[in-house]
Structure 1
Amino acid sequence: MQMDTFSPADGSTVGVAMPVSIVFSKAVATSARAAVEQQLKVTTSVPVTGAWHWFSGTRVDWRPQNFWPSGTKVNVDADLTGVSDGNGRVGTRTYHHGFTIGADTETKVSVPDHTMQVYRDGALVKTMPIDAGSSTFPTWGGTMAVLDKQPEVRMTSCSVGITCDKNNSNFYDLTLPWDVHLTDTGTYVHYSTGDPNPGRGEGSHGCIHLSMSNAEWFYNYVQPGDPVTVTGTSRAKADPQNGYADFNLTWAQWTAGSALQH
């Protein structure tokens, strides 16, 4: 039994909505998940109530009941040596990750108001005009933790399943700057050349558009794990597995996904 990915990275500093997320290279059988979960230890510098949640045989996340307290030191130890995955494989090593919860930076997007507000430690820092998704391609709702960010990303309508037909009015193939990544399905906060002055536009294909200066500011201000909460969209809350949208589950729904609860 081996891990494919283990997030956050050892030694990193992340935002208050960042879960611990473990992806195994091969599936853990349902019958073995409780024994595996018992070997996954999370310790924190301040008391935090949290639990593991199995999304599948290959992915299990740990999140606190509420957002992390800023400044918390977190250690995750996974002693899987000799532990069976229930499918004929046995763990051969121990994993350790330590990370720190950084500043409490929370972003709130109101689709109907075309605004995005950024808060630090509960105080409003900046309000910016935005355009979110259109009625045809609405932005995901709920809370999504920042996955990563890149100074430039090539975005194509084909890669996200909108259209590969260059003659279609929804076709696009653009390389755009200041990209803050929110979902695995391709939601970003960024600047778009097709919407250079957002605030009352007709809407995007699901991304959140900022002006060039605001996009650069936001890119430099946020870090992975910072929560971005979208309200007023016609689309449902993002699936918790679509990136790190773990806080879109209630606490009761979350704890029901622990193998030790049954």
Structure 2
Amino acid sequence: MGRRKRSAGVALLAGAVLAGTGVFGGNAMAATPDGKAAAKAPVKASAPQAAKDRAGARPAAAHSSRAAMLLDSITPSSGSTVGVAMPISVVFSNPVAPSARANIERHLKVTTSVPVTGAWHWFGDRRVDYRPQKFWPSGTRVTLNANLTGVGDGYGRYGVHGYQHTFTIGADVEATISVPGHTMRVYRNGKLVRTMPIDAGSPQFPSWDGTMAVIDKQAKVRMTSCSVGITCDPHNPNYYDITLPWDVHLTFSGTYVHYSTADPHPGHANGSHGCVHLSLADSEWFYNYAKQGDPVTITGSPRGKAAGDNGYADYDLSWSQWLAGSATGATTA
């Protein structure tokens, strides 16, 4: 089962910060069948989280009579600890012209506590992500200085704020899922921690292959077949509308690792609508163990790899593919 939900991190509109749902914050967004965001619906955050995000954004305002180039979001949140596959993702409120992208990349300066080779990559004309060639080393402290004041987007808008985000790469927690083997293995710093039986997507609704960084997680998620474009007809055998626990979010198009009451004892048959099912005990354990940015790699599904911007599946692109979407190429921070 699945629910399409996009979580884009900290929203930054004219210096205001809007936090959203989920353990890691973000904006809940409707999505189209290909997993692209269609419309935003900001959700009110708790006061402590909103205060934290306001502090993390650290805008430095500059007044201008020109049209403002604004950001919708910077992910991850400043002060957070994330997994080794978490990219830096910057989403602009308006399109950025190809002619302006190199200059913008040069003003999105990434510094790290240990040398890391990485690059920016544009997903369309509003989102640009930074990732290392390989996963981040655990313990790395990463700082993004978005010095965008006065920088143009090529369409007559200019930056009016600078932003600084600093975050830390936590323990190297990686999960691998074999669809035909009905098995999920979780590793910490290269050592196997737990092996769990799973069921994945059915032949009609196969799971995505590839490596997806955890977007966020929620203790309960309402999942509906209507929200993911399967069916809105209650009489259809594929219809569902159910709230399920221990949900770890992998794609904007609605892929989760979670428990399902329809599949309480997984490990024998693939029959989900694309999600990965664990037992109740295993799903609670993984929910508590996983963090934003931890890579979950699924193999053996016939669907193919998730698109890089379907969540944070940035590592589904090879390094050469990644560099092809960069205006300035690789640098060592």
What is the TM-score of this pair, normalised by structure 1? 0.99
- Please state how far the C-alpha of 1:202 moved relative to its aligned partner: 3.9
* 1:129 correspondence with 2:197: yes
* 1:11 correspondence with 2:95: no
Matched residues, number: 261
> Aligned match of 2:257 in 167, 177, 189?
189
Distance 1:213 1:206 in 2: 21
> Aligned match of 1:222 in 290, 315, 318?
290
Q: Deviations over 1:178-227 (max 9, x none)?
A: 00000000000000000000010242000000000000000000100000
Q: Partner letter of residue 19 of structure 1?
A: P
Structure 1, gaps ≥5 residues long = none
SS in 1 for 2:257: strand
- Please state how far the C-alpha of 1:7 moved relative to its aligned partner: 0.4
Give the aligned partner of residue 255 of structure 1: 323
Q: Partner letter of residue 207 of structure 2?
A: T
- Please state how far the C-alpha of 1:62 moved relative to its aligned partner: 0.2
Give the aligned partner of residue 67 of structure 1: 135
Contact 1:195 1:201 survives alignment (8 Å): no
Give the aligned partner of residue 309 of structure 2: 241
SS in 1 for 2:328: helix
SS in 1 for 2:219: strand
SS in 1 for 2:243: strand
Give the aligned partner of residue 110 of structure 2: 42
* 1:207 correspondence with 2:275: yes
- Please state how far the C-alpha of 1:87 moved relative to its aligned partner: 0.6
* 1:177 correspondence with 2:245: yes
Give the aligned partner of residue 108 of structure 1: 176
Distance 1:87 1:202 in 2: 48
Q: Partner letter of residue 173 of structure 1?
A: D
Q: Deviations over 1:9-57 (max 9, x none)?
A: 0000000000000000011111111111110100000000000001111
Q: Partner letter of residue 32 of structure 1?
A: A
SS in 2 for 1:33: helix
Structure 2, gaps ≥5 residues long = 1-68
- Please state how far the C-alpha of 1:259 moved relative to its aligned partner: 1.1
Q: Deviations over 1:59-91 (max 9, x none)?
A: 000000001100000000011111111111110
Identity %, equivalent residues: 68
Distance 1:222 1:157 in 2: 26
Give the aligned partner of residue 99 of structure 2: 31
Distance 2:293 2:222 in 1: 23
Q: CA RMSD in A?
A: 0.6
